[in-house]
Amino acid sequence: MASGPEPATAASGQGVQRGQFRSATLHVVGIAVAAVSLGMLACALLEAVTSRRDTTALVVSALVAGAAGGLLWYFSQPGEIRTRQIFATVAWTWILTTAVGALPFILAGTFAAGGVDFVEQVVNSVFESASGFSASGSTVLADFETPGRGLMMYRQLTHWYGGMGVVVLAVAVLPFLGVGGLELISAEAPGTTSDRLTPRVSETARHLWLVYIGFTACAAVAFFAADGFSSLYDAVAHAFTVAATGGFSVHADSIGHYDSVAVETVAIVCMILGATSFSLHWRAVTTRRLPYYRDSEFRSYLLLLGLAATVIVILVWLDNGLPLGSSIRAAVFTVVSLGTSTGLSNATGPGSPGDYVTWVAGAQLVLLVLMVVGGCAGSTSGGIKVMRMRVLGLSMLRTVRHAQTPRAVIPIRLGRDTVNETVVSRVAGFFLLHFLLVMSGVLVVTALEGDFVSALGAVLSALGNMGPALNEAGPTSNYAVAFSQPARLVLALLMVIGRLEIFPILLTAMGVGVSWYRAAARHGRFSVRMLARRLEAIAESRSTDV
């Protein structure tokens, strides 16, 4: 292991000789798409030895994705990673990976039942792929029996890829990115900052993935040992989900299919660990100590979940008339599931205790708050994050105190650490952007669909990568029933925006807009100066007429 950080510009001589394009974006996209193709191929092998229904679709998708990713990787070399390239690289990697990830569903005709036209199939496939890679868990799948086991496992695998991040995976195999690699991880990883676990950024990425793989393996073993799981296939499929804090299941009733307290307990523990910063997991592995309780964010997170569960248990027990035991079981699982942005459900059917759309309005309001907050920074969870909410709350409190003592210097502290003012400003800006996106998304989805409650829940769920929402998009329904085609495309975009925490997609869209404007201006199709000249000419002609 090297003792110092890697250079930011060094690209291997072999890469320079073979590369025809100097593009970090194409290089990272190539590695990410190629990695996804390997998952498709593995699932094709599973399909070939089990169901044999969708083997061809998975194999063809793997070949197409592998060829595209391999060509992009081979004929490009990243060179220097510049600041303005970082967000674009992350955004385009996720957009193109999501598009390629929809291929198996399209080729297998997963959403072709009932004479659905091809456009609807493509929309549903893109939605399912976006939900998978963003680890949201919102689904348009109604038939869980027809797709083969390999295709269903691929659906679970999209969660697993998206949980830790395809860009982090790419950085793990690019040892020469240096500081640029850390900035790529920071642009993709959820939270305010990204920790450098080792001096070498590529080793940091590899260690994160090793911890992630180990956590997934432990979750699979725990599920398999729990009373209620009948096969290793089910255990691995749900281990992919809880590690990524996604919400996909291989059964229509999700965890409620097993109706097992043991299975739900394992899921609760794994979901909380998945929503905890992986830096803490790394420290636990390397130091063989448990650093969790010493982390102020983790303590605040557990307190939030505990308070929310207590309030909902009381509300559901008193207002919904459920037995106390059923209230505790349903409330605790749902609070942890939505509070970690996982989105699994223990509802055994519509109207069952776990079907939270039938709960009293106060309980649903608490769930909405949890959907906004999400998990801890540096985890696979979605939402605004507990750390940001704490910084925002302390900043508001400081504003009140400044009204009393205007000249006082009041730093914001999280535990023993003082928060940099730049971070405070970024948190405030992020919160404002998140609020504006929620309002804009609700306006658009409501205009396309007309149901305000469903639109509000779905937009919050999409931006927070939660999965199930409220009303028609609850845990026992699916988004194909609740929302129209255009609304589902808007929600798919919001899922990716939420997974990348707004800035990469927003800045990339702004960059594309600026580039289009400059190109149009160069070709004379549009120019502010030209418009000004025309307005001046009109004004002069009118003055002459007068």
As given in the structure block, the two tokens for residue 500 are 């990348």
Which backbone phi and psi does 525 adopt, to 5 degrees? Answer: -80, -30
> How remote is the C-alpha of 485 from its chain's centroid?
21
In this prediction, what percent of the chain has a pLDDT beyond 90? 49
- Give the per-residue pLDDT at 195: 55
> Between 421 and 538, whose confidence is greater?
421
Cβ neighbours of 40 (radius 10 Å):
27
The percentage of the chain sitting over the pLDDT mark of 70, rounded to a whole number, equals 83
* Structure token pair of residue 337: 């599931």
Query: What is the C-alpha to C-alpha distance for residues 407 and 24, in angstroms, rounded to an integer?
Result: 48
**Residues in CB range of 253: below 8 A, 6 or more apart:** 345, 347, 348, 349, 476
- For the cut 90, the answer to whether the pLDDT of residue 85 exceeds it is no
> How much is the pLDDT for 261?
93
Is the model's pLDDT at 79 over the cut of 50?
yes
Tell me the three state secondary structure of residue 418.
strand
Task: Let me know: does 1 contact 197? Beta carbons within 8 Å.
Answer: no
Q: Report whether pLDDT(526) > 60.
A: no
Instruction: Report how far residue 34's alpha carbon sits from residue 76's, in angstroms, rounded to the nearest whole number.
Output: 14
Higher per-residue confidence, 169 vs 509: 509
Residues 394 and 412: beta-carbon distance below 8 Å = yes
Q: Give the single-character DSSP code of 144.
A: S
CA–CA dist 128, 101 (Å, integer) = 9
User: If we measure between CA atoms, which residue out of 47, 27, 166, 186 comes closest to residue 101?
Assistant: 166
Mean pLDDT of the chain: 84
Q: Directed axis angle between helix 503-522 and helix 485-499, to 10°? A: 110
Q: Which residues of 434-451 are buried (b: 16+ CB within 10 A; e: fewer)?
A: beebbeebbebbbebbeb
Let me know how long the chain is: 546
User: Would you state the pLDDT for residue 329?
Assistant: 95
pTM of the model: 0.86
Pairwise pLDDT comparison (14 vs 374), residue with the higher score: 374
* Average pLDDT for 29-51: 94
Of 41-45, 216-220, 419-423, least confident by mean pLDDT is 419-423
Q: Residue 67: which pLDDT band, with cuts at 50, 70 and 90?
A: very high
In this prediction, residue 413 carries a pLDDT of 85
Domain ranges of the chain: 13-293, 509-545
Tokens found for residue 347: 């509802």
Residue 38, pLDDT > 70, answer yes
pLDDT above 60: residue 176 = no
More confident: 99 or 227: 99
Task: Quickly state the pLDDT bin for 524 (edges 50, 70, 90).
Answer: low
- 367-393 pLDDT, tens digit per residue, is 999 999 999 988 889 889 998 999 999
Helices of type H across 196-277: 201-225, 232-243, 261-274
Lowest-confidence segment of 158-172, 196-210, 361-375 by average pLDDT: 196-210
More confident residue, 447 or 322: 447
Dihedral Cα 317, 369, 248, 310, nearest 10 deg: -30
Instruction: Find residue 77's DSSP bridge partners.
Output: 22
Please give the C-alpha separations between residue 258 and each of 153, 248, 250, 327, 477, in angstroms, as whole numbers.
18, 15, 12, 18, 18
Q: Are 491 and 444 in contact (CB under 8 A)?
A: no
According to the model, what pLDDT value does residue 183 have?
60
Q: Hey, what amino acid is at 252?
A: A
Q: Give the containing element (helix H, strand E) for 178.
A: none
Residue 236 carries which side chain, given as an amino acid letter?
V
pLDDT of residue 5: 38
Q: Which of 240-254, 286-300, 433-447, 525-539 is predicted with the least confidence, judged by mean pLDDT? A: 525-539
The continuous run of DSSP H or E covering 333 comes out as helix 324-339
State the residue for tokens 């510009």: 9
- Which letter, b or e, does each residue of 284-323 get, where b requires 16 or more Cβ atoms within 10 Å of its Cβ? eeeeeeeebeebbbbebbeebbeebbebbbebbbeeeebe
Distance CA 78, CA 25 (A): 7
User: Using CA atoms, how far apart are residues 163 and 149, in angstroms rounded to an integer?
Assistant: 21
Q: Tens of pLDDT along 250-267?
A: 999 999 999 999 999 999
Strand 417-418 and strand 413-414: pairing? antiparallel
